[in-house]
Structure 1
């Protein structure tokens, strides 16, 4: 590979020796500090321009500087070359006084002789310039923590209903229905909803769906913060943030979420203490009786058992229920937050992608639990089967408005298609009617012009006849006038009809053409050669993180480019560990991992957001990860995953969860892997994107291995289902249906159904 010295000699063969030494000295001393080709041009571009005279223009010199920068970067990141001394060094011959007065490291650090021909002043000036840039960069980096990225904020506004406000403030409003009319929601300068209406009837379960980035999560936040007016007596709970870790046991944390019960129990303990100490004034006994009555009314004695059932359903073992919340990971704390919400039973429960943190077993339990929920639920979910099992209504967010549909998701798909067809027919009929009216008007205008011309000609003839035969033809003239009058009356009637048609046209409601949502398409590049199987294999693998707690033993797995494998199992069973063993990130304690020498794995982590630089835009993200390509290539790559136009230049932190996932897909597929390992890839994706992901994986000619809880994706893509449990991985021939039946049977045995 050519070095910057080779490039310099080939592009400027007649360069002066001193200038050549000066330029190589600048590049040699500051190569690691240059950030891009422009900085190289700033340092030596002027000198090269003078050397080239008229043979090269400014753009040519910039291209040459970019080529030299690329070679510098390769040398900087590549393996360090060993430095060879010009002659052997005899340590014994170095005098003691030299060792005492001089730095002995100098003999090892010397790179070249001191009799260089480089202009010392010019070199000193260039090095000072590089040092200044380095200092500015360090100063900028040191300021980053103190100047965090400022993101846009969401806001909401709505038309005020004075009657509802008065009823709400008077405390007479006992209805638990929610109706919010004519409201807007914005995120920064982007309008998400405009003139929208939202109606939530008490006791119904609503699924809020829509494409990524349209504002579903923002709408939940506006409701939870009451930026949109919800009657004050309606309690709202939004499961958004994980429980804060402390010494409180998980079961106790759930019990504490029922604030009424906690307040009554605290007051009961206080009153009993005062009665026992003899400081009571007589009213304590009366109040204590009232408290006991209220505790019995809310069935406070059954609360620990109910909380334990909820925790067990979400995967908490009896031992885990007694663990302190600070001992749990973020995913388990999110489950704990969901358990607290289910136990507290608010009037309006807001759930944002509740299945993201759950395994298939916990999802099935949650479906069964929510089907008996008495109050109102508004849930954002991409899980088609979860929506079909839980919700009674669908709210579709699109085109800055909300449309409501009765029934589950499957009924929504059918009803939406019928509604769109009717709207299209209505639009086409009105368009045809408008065109018909316009044709009639045009025909009448043409007819009127012809008749007017005939009338003028006829008048001229009449006038001529009148002047010539005024005495003789008077009677005939009167008859002609009568004919004219009759004709005029006829035209007047036609004019009235035209006016009525014009008014009818004005009264017609104006319909806009239907805005059809663009189809989501994903594509995984597969321009690679076929590999002979098996390409990835685990043979009798044993693995543990600590010797006293073995995780796997006798683990056997095999995959090739035809594989479509899904691994399921409860959280903590070791599914992600298996993926890391397959990728080689973890080394087996026993057994062997075998991989084809040309295997190239693309990995999608369930924590992919943590691996993205949130402070840069998507284009810069790919540039930093895969340097040396044009901006057009980066934009084309992102565009293939729906990150187009202004989205590609916004900070990644400001994107929605689904849009961040698409950026992660674009980053993962850029090196063109021939085998994909995807850990919970559907988290945060909308249903249209999940369908597109399934189609893309089915078209992909390489191998695919999934860890997923999304039943729809599993059914569409996977040919093999492997269950991870009790330190083993076993194949289920009956696929997902058999696995679902196994879990339902476990629920019945454990008393959850």
Structure 2
């Protein structure tokens, strides 16, 4: 058996006997297998590549619905980009679980979340979902506060007039209304990781200088890294990127002093203070120690109170800080390592895929902490979201060599790009379906300008409609709230009440509800259309790239 034959077992059967081995080969190559790997026995693969093989078998089976649970695990950045393109072209149903927000938003039309033990689904991106949840919780809390205020007023009325015979009917009416009305519970605080790195002072300009660095493991003298030169400024954000197994972690180990170069030098000033989060550092944790003890070991003053505070920030509150490291999951051990990093005074952070095992909210917290850190950061990551958000310089492992790129990740994609990223690119087509001419750049610019202008008009009109409806919803909700308050005041003013006013206000409240619901329905349709048209214009613009 070979890897290719194993993948072909999942190809759909065809009565005419058409050979579709090429489909399996294309998918395997897309997710990172080399030509030589295709002839290996599946049992000779590493654990990560066996996971990739299982992913390939699912993709080649061409199911009616594709269910993917963390498909980007064990994929490198180039394979993730290929998988994103594949899924964007998928014409059938797709449900995907992933903590990579950028990847999810690039391949999905709707986002679903489990929030406070309920499932929520909205059209659009994760950002839109979180904004919707935040808005709903703000409205809920405002409603709860108002209800609590009105409940106290009603209870005061009942207590005040309970003993008076003339108010007996009104009191009983209020008591029944109070019993029927649901009491909203205060929302509990959702726990998430809290990061603040401990910055150590540094007065110089450069924290590290790497000169003609070379390194290799092979006995024949072949090198993973050859003649690499760069420096690390005191506020640099440098990302190390590339395919798996090319030397990214090895470079971090060299910078951390855990490996010695075979050539060149790494020069550091005396007041350099490194903090290193490595993939294999989990194995260095003492399994017999508690979480609290591991944190205290690296605290400058071995302060238990400070250690407990860090444990809480890493979601080990109270007695959970007394758990033995040996009983923790891989994700929990990563949080212990991050906790040790937080209490270590440092002016340079070395981070090797720190977002592994972190959810979306925790990843956002980590990004904020890195952004606030006053020292330099060198990070290995496959997340394009992190690269776009943080990296100002890149060390790139690609095409058999390692090079320094002075600039951001988008600039690298635009000016350099990944070597052989798409081994079998399809000819780009215009809207008429014909292959675009490669030489007429002036014509392409005119097409792009026209598309950009059309996109601005179309999306702008949709956004204006959305803004109008949102404004009308806010107006109606404020009016309904005012009518409700007026109705309570009228009822309070008299036992008999003002029948005409009560009837008018009740009718206004009744009529406003279906109108608001109808506007929300229209708003959802417009958001769906906006997302759909946005993707449509992106595809058209990608088809006429200059």
What TM-score, normalized by structure 2, do the two folds share?
0.70
Query: Could you tell me how far apart the structure 2 residues matched to 1:296 and 1:399 are?
Result: 50
Q: CA deviation at 1:685?
A: 0.8
Query: Could you tell me how far apart the structure 2 residues matched to 1:348 and 1:652 are?
Result: 40
Structure 1 residues 421, 626: closer, same or farther in 2, change over 3 A?
closer
**Aligned residue among 260, 267, 270 for 1:597:** 270
Does the 8 Å CA contact 1:542/1:591 hold for their aligned counterparts?
A: yes
Structure 1 residues 389, 642: closer, same or farther in 2, change over 3 A?
same
Structure 1 residues 571, 609: closer, same or farther in 2, change over 3 A?
same
**Aligned residue among 425, 446, 458 for 1:751:** 425
The answer for the alignment partner of 1:606 in structure 2 is 279
Structure 1 residues 377, 317: closer, same or farther in 2, change over 3 A?
same
The answer for the alignment partner of 1:11 in structure 2 is none
Query: Could you tell me how far apart the structure 2 residues matched to 1:411 and 1:561 are?
Result: 36
Answer yes or no: is 1:440 the counterpart of 2:157: yes
Q: Secondary structure at the match of 1:295?
A: coil
The answer for the alignment partner of 2:198 in structure 1 is 525
Larger Rg: 1
**Aligned residue among 19, 27, 32 for 1:301:** 19
Q: Secondary structure at the match of 1:588?
A: coil
Query: Could you tell me how far apart the structure 2 residues matched to 1:514 and 1:608 are?
Result: 38
Answer yes or no: is 1:386 the counterpart of 2:58: no
What's the CA shift string for 1:504-543, capped at 9, x where partnerless? 22111221112242464211112x3315243322211222
What's the CA shift string for 1:626-672, capped at 9, x where partnerless? 89945444323323433222321234455454433221112234442
Structure 1 residues 524, 300: closer, same or farther in 2, change over 3 A?
farther
Answer yes or no: is 1:557 the counterpart of 2:230: yes
Answer yes or no: is 1:726 the counterpart of 2:399: yes
Structure 1 residues 337, 604: closer, same or farther in 2, change over 3 A?
farther
Structure 2 counterparts to residues 479-518 of structure 1, below 5 A: 491=166, 494-518=167-191
The answer for the alignment partner of 1:313 in structure 2 is 30
Query: Could you tell me how far apart the structure 2 residues matched to 1:696 and 1:348 are?
Result: 39
Structure 1 residues 330, 748: closer, same or farther in 2, change over 3 A?
closer
Structure 2 counterparts to residues 37-56 of structure 1, below 5 A: none
What TM-score, normalized by structure 1, do the two folds share?
0.52
Does the 8 Å CA contact 1:361/1:743 hold for their aligned counterparts?
A: no
The answer for the alignment partner of 1:251 in structure 2 is 4
Does the 8 Å CA contact 1:643/1:663 hold for their aligned counterparts?
A: no
Structure 2 counterparts to residues 150-169 of structure 1, below 5 A: none
Q: Secondary structure at the match of 1:585?
A: coil
Does the 8 Å CA contact 2:111/2:126 hold for their aligned counterparts?
A: yes
Structure 1 residues 534, 329: closer, same or farther in 2, change over 3 A?
farther
What's the CA shift string for 1:299-327, capped at 9, x where partnerless? 7621x211111111111121222223344
Q: CA deviation at 1:727?
A: 4.4
Q: CA deviation at 1:620?
A: 4.0
Does the 8 Å CA contact 1:540/1:554 hold for their aligned counterparts?
A: yes
Answer yes or no: is 1:536 the counterpart of 2:208: yes
Answer yes or no: is 1:689 the counterpart of 2:406: no
Query: Could you tell me how far apart the structure 2 residues matched to 1:651 and 1:249 are?
Result: 43
Q: CA deviation at 1:705?
A: 0.3
Q: CA deviation at 1:556?
A: 0.7
Q: CA deviation at 1:747?
A: 4.8
Does the 8 Å CA contact 1:732/1:738 hold for their aligned counterparts?
A: no
What's the CA shift string for 1:564-606, capped at 9, x where partnerless? 1111112223211221222232222222222223323211113
Q: Secondary structure at the match of 1:750?
A: coil
What's the CA shift string for 1:452-476, capped at 9, x where partnerless? 7xxxxxxxxxxxxxxxxxxxxxxxx
**Aligned residue among 138, 147, 159 for 1:430:** 147
Does the 8 Å CA contact 1:538/1:555 hold for their aligned counterparts?
A: yes
Q: CA deviation at 1:613?
A: 4.2
Structure 1 residues 616, 250: closer, same or farther in 2, change over 3 A?
farther
Unaligned residue ranges in structure 2 (runs of 5+): 429-546
The answer for the alignment partner of 1:93 in structure 2 is none
Does the 8 Å CA contact 1:349/1:377 hold for their aligned counterparts?
A: yes
Structure 1 residues 716, 663: closer, same or farther in 2, change over 3 A?
same
Query: Could you tell me how far apart the structure 2 residues matched to 1:607 and 1:373 are?
Result: 36
Does the 8 Å CA contact 2:2/2:41 hold for their aligned counterparts?
A: yes
Q: Secondary structure at the match of 1:310?
A: helix
Answer yes or no: is 1:738 the counterpart of 2:411: yes
Structure 1 residues 602, 308: closer, same or farther in 2, change over 3 A?
same
Structure 1 residues 722, 629: closer, same or farther in 2, change over 3 A?
closer
The answer for the alignment partner of 2:126 in structure 1 is 409
The answer for the alignment partner of 2:499 in structure 1 is none
Does the 8 Å CA contact 2:277/2:354 hold for their aligned counterparts?
A: yes
Q: Number of paired residues?
A: 425
